[in-house]
Structures are given as C-alpha cells and as structure tokens.
C-alpha cells in the first residue's frame, strides 16, 4: 500500500463499513498529503480561523467545541480516526468552531484547490464527501435529541453506544471495550451536565451492570441493556454495526482498504 493510502487507513476502513470499495480515495492519496502531529490539549483549529485546507484525523481523539463569553465550553462533536475535522471549510472557509486534541493526534491536511480538482475529475469522490457531511449532520441531530429529550442516563448510554460503533468501524476498539481518555469534567462538556451529575450517572450505569469504567477504558458488559437505555439505533451512522463481542477491524474492511492499493501502481 502506498504511503498516502497508509495515512488514509482509518478513512478506508470506515468507507468499507459503508459498503464502498475506497477507489475514489486513491485520488486523495496522490495529492501529497501533509502529515501533522498535535500534542494533547493543543488546538488544531480555532473559531474564526480561515484556511485553504481541510483536515482528516488519522490517529487520536479530538473534539469540536464552542466557547461562551464566560469561558464555558460545550463540546459539540467527538472526532475519531477517519473523521474530517473541518470538511465544511471546503465551502465556508471561516470556521465557526474550534477543534482541540483530546489526546495526542495525527492528521493530514488537503488543500481546498486540490480537493476541488479531485471532485471535478471524479463524481464518486464528490459523493463520498457529500455522504460525510450528511452523516456528520445526522450525528449532530442525535446529539441534539439526546441533550433535549433523553434522560441523563439515556444520553450517556447513547454516547457510549455511538462511540463503540464508530471506533469499531475503524479498528480502534477491543471486542467489548474502547478507550475514552476523557476526565469527568471533559465528559461534562460533552454532555452538557455538571461534573457531579456525570459522576452520578456513571455510577447508575455501573450499578445497572451495563458498563465498567477503569483507567479511561469503557467495557460494555451488556450491549443489549445499554442500547435499550439509550434507545440506540445505529442506522444514522451509515455503518455496518459491530456489536461488542465481535472482533473489530474485520477482514472485509481490511481487504477493502487494501484493495485500493493496486490502482496506484
């Protein structure tokens, strides 16, 4: 596999989970991607920044956020490998959000003009990017429903279910667990709760026997029970769901990711 495709490995795995063969991505891999690294808590972009690039996360965990004048922060999206941080900047260059590295992160940047040329030459690439923005919007709708109408326990359960499926799709989870390196204060910024409330809800989920959380590792002990509390339906993610108990990074996804390599020879 060519170096450009190696950098896009998580994105290719995600596409495979959506039933795509990844061929349109080969055009992106030939663009001379700029590989960047960010330390924990470093801003990858700030609200108000203008840029001529889009950024794709290739490793680590990042978060989109908004800051109020009081300094209070709301995390609006958690970003995992294979996610674009700022695909909207392709059409609206000025960012109305910030992105922070929750862990040490690695990302690649693609110039808007280069991306435009790829889309003009390959309608399939345009379709894939359109799909990305559509699913981003679907995730935002689910988060809005969670904050507005789900119970606090249902909201947290839904977040854990969503992250399990998204991380499994890109081979970043164990069979029944995933790493979530968020403090309770940071989780409060995600859920729009106080840290005290977050602690109380976590205790409830533990007491119910559906999860265990130790050293930033969430183990899902009862997937069906957790999904019922969350009223979780993964259809909005557009992914082949990987329920806990199955091995992640399935051969089908790996084979699809590798299949794009020969076309670059």
Per the structure, the complete domain to which residue 175 belongs is given by 151-237
Question: Do residue 113 and residue 191 come from a single domain?
Answer: no
CATH number of the domain at 168, please.
1.10.10.10
Q: Does 146 map to a domain?
A: no
Question: Do residue 27 and residue 129 come from a single domain?
Answer: yes
pTM over 0.85: yes
User: Contact, 24 vs 124, CB < 8 A?
Assistant: yes
Q: What is residue 124's predicted lDDT score, i.e. its pLDDT?
A: 85
Question: Do residue 81 and residue 18 come from a single domain?
Answer: yes
Q: What is residue 257's predicted lDDT score, i.e. its pLDDT?
A: 37
What is the overall mean pLDDT for the chain? 87
Question: Do residue 132 and residue 35 come from a single domain?
Answer: yes
Q: Does 22 map to a domain?
A: yes
CATH number of the domain at 16, please.
2.60.120.10
Which parts of the chain register pLDDT below 70?
1-5, 21-22, 24-27, 29-32, 241-265
| Residue 113 CB burial class (10 angstroms; 0-12, 13-18, ≥19) | exposed
Q: In what order do the strands lie in the sheet with 43-45?
A: 43-45, 98-101, 62-67, 73-79
Q: What is residue 125's predicted lDDT score, i.e. its pLDDT?
A: 85
């Amino acid at each position: 596999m060519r170096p450009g495709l190696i950098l896009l490995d998580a994105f290719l795995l995600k596409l495979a989970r959506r039933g795509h063969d990844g061929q349109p991505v080969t055009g992106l891999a030939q663009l001379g991607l700029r590989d960047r690294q960010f330390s924990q808590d470093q801003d990858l972009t700030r609200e108000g920044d203008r840029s001529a690039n889009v950024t794709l996360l290739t490793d680590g965990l990042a978060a989109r956020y908004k800051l109020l004048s009081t300094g209070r922060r709301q995390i609006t999206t958690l970003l995992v490998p294979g996610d674009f941080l700022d695909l909207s900047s392709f059409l609206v260059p000025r960012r109305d959000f910030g992105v922070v590295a929750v862990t040490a992160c690695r990302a690649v940047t693609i110039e808007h003009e280069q991306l435009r040329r790829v889309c003009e030459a390959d309608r399939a690439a345009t379709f894939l990017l359109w799909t990305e923005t559509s699913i981003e919007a679907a995730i935002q709708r689910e988060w809005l429903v969670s904050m507005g109408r789900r119970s606090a326990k249902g909201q947290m359960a839904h977040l854990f279910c969503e992250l399990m499926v998204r991380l499994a799709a890109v081979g970043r989870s164990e069979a029944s667990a995933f790493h979530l390196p968020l403090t309770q204060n940071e989780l409060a910024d995600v859920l729009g709760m106080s840290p005290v409330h977050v602690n109380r809800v976590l205790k409830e989920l533990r007491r119910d026997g559906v999860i265990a959380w130790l050293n930033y590792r969430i183990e899902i002990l009862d997937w069906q029970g957790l999904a019922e509390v969350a009223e979780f339906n993964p259809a909005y993610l557009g992914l082949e769901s990987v329920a806990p108990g199955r091995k992640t990074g399935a051969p089908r996804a790996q084979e699809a990711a590798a299949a794009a390599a020969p076309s670059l020879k």
